[in-house]
Amino acid sequence: MTDQHATLRRTLSMRHIVYLGLAWMTPMIYFTVYGVAYESAGGMLTQAYLLAFVAIFFTAVSYGIMSRTYPTSGSSYTYVGKSIHPYMGFLVGWAILLDYLFSPLIACLTFGIFLNAQFPSVPVWAWIVGLNVVLAAINILGVNFSAQISKWFVWIQMSFVGVFCFFLIKNLSGGPAVHPLQPIAQTDIPLTAILAGASVICFCFLGFDSVTTMSEETKDSGRAIPRAILIIITLAGVLYLTPSYLTQLIYPNLAFEHSDTAGMELVKLVGGSGLSALFVTVLVFAIFTQGLSSFATVSRLLYVMGRDAVLPKKVFGALHPKYRTPAVNIALVAAFSMLALVISLDIAVKCVSFGALTAFTFVNLSVIVRLYIKEKRRSFKQTLLYLVCPLIGACFIGWLLSLLDRQALWIGLSWVLFGIVYHAFRYKLQPLLALPKKARVPFAPRRD
């Protein structure tokens, strides 16, 4: 049973929002993408992470500005729709659905893969189905419950990164003396290679935007959400830059058997088999919390689009009368995530990349259109905040979007085209089909 008149319950504090954002971002992603990022950046991970942090920071500032301007749960869909044009908002919201829909799917798929590797007697499909049911149940009970669970699992992840850095410092004390600026000041690798690595590493920061979908469940969201976004980005920067700096300081030249498992090889190199076993356990926790947070994010976006009647309102715009959560949306997300049984991880990651980068680009542009052009806020400080910073963010993210491979672009553009057809049917053809047959005649016959 659902209630069309119920509203989302404001129970989240800024602390809860930070935990949910970090849970979606997953600090342990540093290790899962280590091999690919290391190869792309020519080993200069510290410099690549620093560039990626600076680039994403501009977009994070834009999200903070727009969440203060429009403190509702629609995220990029709302920001672009109200700043630029409702139709453009629909297309951006439709694009970001790729990111938000496939994120819980990726969590379920990787969860099944890792646990099947640890327990081969249990098939992958069993882990995927089981996780879907658990994530859906927890999210239906309420986002506050999800935030409490995410808090503990995020602390477990951050603690593991701390232990990993402790082992690195321990190894550094017994190794040869090196210059502390070596990981940052090295110039042997061309800047183009480091930028290529930064384009891969940017995906480690994806997820900070997800907290904007919780605006209507957050106390004093106009202040809490922008602050939470900056805290999330800053903490992520520290969690990624610290181990990359220490690793590059101690092991300036690394070689891995397989890039996909390079993170596990690195952990074993630094802390031995004991730390490696702990790594797998914490990684499973990380995947679980990422799935928990991403379920909450996409169900809220679907709810706002349903409430606005962009999607069928009776289905997507209703809340559970008791828990005040979009229970139908959560169930639909769980059903969609069952595609993890048949879809490849590579395809899912490409869908996430296209959706996120498209939304990031247009949110930066929405700041310029809304505040600098329409509202003409053009003092020196406002010009920096509402023109220069978002323009830098839009250009850099747009460049990253253009770097996606052909398959990713085809998938993304096909999804957007499907959205255009859906929109045309819903707003142009459907009202015509609902009319009586006589009313559909474009003109009345002449009477002689």
Select, from the ranges 123-132, 259-268, 311-320, 432-441, the one with the highest average predicted confidence (pLDDT): 123-132
pLDDT, average across residues 102-113: 86
Quote the pLDDT of residue 383: 96
How far apart are the two ends of the chain, measured CA to CA in Å?
A: 58
Q: For residues 103 and 331, what is the distance between their CA atoms, to the nearest angstrom?
A: 15
Task: Read off the pLDDT of residues 316-342 as tens digits, 9 standing for 90 and up.
Answer: 988 888 888 889 999 999 999 999 999
Q: Which of the two residues, 209 and 430, has the higher pLDDT score?
A: 209
Instruction: Count the Cβ atoms, other than its own, within 10 Å of residue 4.
Output: 12
Sequence-separated (6 or more) residues with CB below 8 Å from residue 409: 354
Q: Which of the two residues, 442 and 2, has the higher pLDDT score?
A: 2
Task: Read off the pLDDT of residues 66-78 as tens digits, 9 standing for 90 and up.
Answer: 988 888 776 888 8
Out of 6-15, 306-315, 362-371, least confident range: 6-15
Q: What topology is assigned to 14-406 in CATH?
A: Amino acid/polyamine transporter I (1.20.1740)
Quote the pLDDT of residue 256: 82
Torsion, CA 160, CA 163, CA 167, CA 169, rounded to 10 = 120
Whose CA is closest to 72, among 232, 209, 214, 210? 214
**417, containing H or E segment:** helix 406-424
Quote the pLDDT of residue 205: 85
Q: Compute CA distances 89 → 56, 76, 209, 268, 273, whole Å.
A: 21, 7, 16, 47, 50
